[in-house]
Amino acid sequence: MTAKEITGKSRVYAHLAHPSAHVRATQTFNRAFRERQIDAVAVSIDVAPADMPSLVRGLRGWRNLAGMGVTMPHKGPIAAVCDEVVGRGRLIGAVNAIRREPDGKLVGANTDGSGFWAGLRQAGYDPTGQRVLLVGVGGAGRAIAFALAHGGVGELRLANRTAARAQEVAARLRKPSEHQTSVGPPDPTGVDLVVNATPLGMREGDNLPLDVSKLTPGMVVAEIILAPERTRLVEEAERRGCRVHLGLPMLTCQIDEVITFLRLDQPPAGAD
């Protein structure tokens, strides 16, 4: 299907990142818009953390802005810029999708956790009752932690560079869930599923996020990094006989949810 011409009636989905070179959401969503015949275009905005709040507040007046997608490092801080955060995003304290209402109000939500869970299930892996090591509890990591906990994993181990942040997330997870949650080093010994929710692996020369010598055949090792598609962790895990799960399914499995949240599947306000 050829790309539809972008006109003055087209709605815009702006994707915020820093840096933006690793972003794959724009091409993924533009493909989805074409396939679903939605008159919208996704564009990438590279904005540094210090400039993000003022830029986002300024976008309130962009009348054909459907909303924004958000990736590292903005998912946590941008929640405070939203006028309202709904659903699990409020509990998590991180946002990856923002809808602009006709009056300029910005409403944030989080679809990362449901996208990650759906991606695993789509690949034929059910984490229910499994022992999981999650490395990294930033914006995406927190969303994944809540999805795993509420999805019914048997044991969830959290590892983070700042242990206090992991302790805070663990304390919030224990309240509504019956699973066992603990905080410790990024040691995959004895787990069924390992999830890297850190940015380690995006850049050449990055350290590994965990001790890969402790990976064993039969483990599932999951990434959330989109570019490069195959990180050093993925390569090391495969070398040790692990099954790997790449980062792209987490994005593709939340496309419909984001489109619905942004109301891009509905005519724009004021349309005939």
Instruction: Report, as residue numbers or ranges, the catalytic residues.
Output: 75
Please tell me the distance from the alpha carbon of residue 187 to that of residue 269, in angstroms, as a whole number: 51
Q: Who's near 246: CB < 8 A, 6+ residues apart?
A: 223, 229, 230, 234
First-to-last alpha carbon distance for the chain, in angstroms, is 26
> What is the CA 85 to chain-centroid distance, rounded?
16
Q: What's the token pair of residue 52?
A: 């993000």
Q: What's the token pair of residue 83?
A: 């006028």
3-state secondary structure 174-200: HCCCCCEEEECCCCCCCCCEEEECCCC
User: Which amino acid makes up residue 200?
Assistant: L
Q: Would you mind telling me the total number of residues written for the chain in this entry? A: 272
Output the CA–CA distances (angstroms, integers) from residue 112 to 132, 138, 152, 253, in the order listed: 17, 12, 17, 9
Please tell me the distance from the alpha carbon of residue 181 to that of residue 173, in angstroms, as a whole number: 8
